[in-house]
Structure 1
């Protein structure tokens, strides 16, 4: 029987995400990744024999699972507006009230391998589809639901940037508070 890992995968992936979030793929050095995880390079390569690309892919896969938990209320709440509000609450926690950059953005900066950029793109499309599905459940046509989801994503990502640049998390909080009106206005009007 093998030795139990001293640092679990979820913690490693979260620490890798911190480095990739701040530095992007190209700017994340192996020294930074090793230091953040708390493992020597040899131990890090033992866990990720394919190096930084494998670290980034594992981190994005883990992030996708965590993000699935954030998006889950969009599909599970019977009241769509309440589901959007709960997703927004979870998103506030996920992004530390707008103080953290979106790792999907930083992983698509120049220098990231195409498969990593594609993985981040798939996660963004999953996010868009979850919001579009919620808008459709709220009564929007398919085209309108897609437009609402895209507008929501643009607002969220823009608010993340503005909140950090101005050091004002209220910008992010405001956008999250507007999501039920954007994605489920037909239900709120009733």
Structure 2
């Protein structure tokens, strides 16, 4: 039975899960309708630009979540609060490694060319926000940037390994190890 959805904001998270599961190329309109219970008419009502518009909206939705829960706290809050918060929020968002990073997945295939600017901005802002927080703890800009790249790269790698091995604990251990490394680096207990 077709679902009745009244708001576009209700539709975006549903479609995002289809893209997470099947990737951009695998998320055909028929698979999106089948997995969400939405009619093609409803989808085109909300997304007249089709699948590319859906993906763009989903990426904007993901970006907005990360801005509110990760990037802005790292940029604006006390680093001793914001950095541990980042680990908690990231672990919750990715469901302890059971949910892939859609932006990361898009970066790995030919979808990257369609959304290169959005993908690049997302990862660069995360690296820059974490680096800025680390600098506020006394780290040099160079060291903070290197550690931030390692942390964001480690999160992405942990997600891939957890998915590949079908073992979410890989992600949890990765997050714990990265958090410990950052905490040691800034001289705080983890």
The aligned residue for residue 37 of structure 2 is 38
Once the two structures are superposed, residues 63-122 of structure 1 have per-residue CA deviations (whole angstroms, 9 ceiling, x without a partner) of: 1111123314323432x2332111111111100100111101222343326342331221
Distance 1:128 1:7, change over 3 A: farther
Q: Which moved more, 1:108-117 or 1:147-156?
A: 108-117
Who is 1:19 aligned against?
18
Consecutive unaligned residues of structure 1, counting only runs of 5 or more, are: none
Q: What is aligned with 2:91?
A: 92
| Structure-2 separation of matches of 1:32 and 1:118 | 27
Larger RCO, structures 1/2 (Cα 8 Å, 6+ apart):
1
What corresponds to 1:145 in structure 2?
Answer: 144
Distance 2:186 2:173 in 1: 20
Change (3 A) 1:110 1:83: closer
CA RMSD of aligned residues (A): 2.1
**Structure 2 runs not aligned, ≥5 long:** none
The 2-side partners of 1:109 and 1:177 are apart by: 25
Report the counterpart of residue 188 of structure 1 in structure 2: 188
CA shift in 2, pair 1:87/1:48, >3 Å: same
Cα deviation, residue 162, structure 1 = 1.5
How far, CA to CA, are the matches of 2:112 and 2:170 in structure 1? 32
CA contact under 8 A between 1:148 and 1:183: conserved in structure 2?
Answer: yes
Give the structure 1 partner of residue 74 of structure 2. Answer: 74
Correspondence for 1:29: 28
Aligned to 1:122: 121
Alpha-carbon offset, residue 168 of structure 1: 2.4
Deviation string, structure 1 residues 4-41 (Cα, Å, up to 9, x no partner): x8343333111121111122212211112223443211
**SS of structure 2 residue aligned to 1:64:** helix
Secondary structure at 2:138's aligned position in 1? coil
Equivalent position of 1:8 in the other structure: 7
Residues 171 and 113 of structure 1: CA distance in aligned 2, closer, same or farther (over 3 Å): closer
| 3-state SS of 2:48 partner | coil
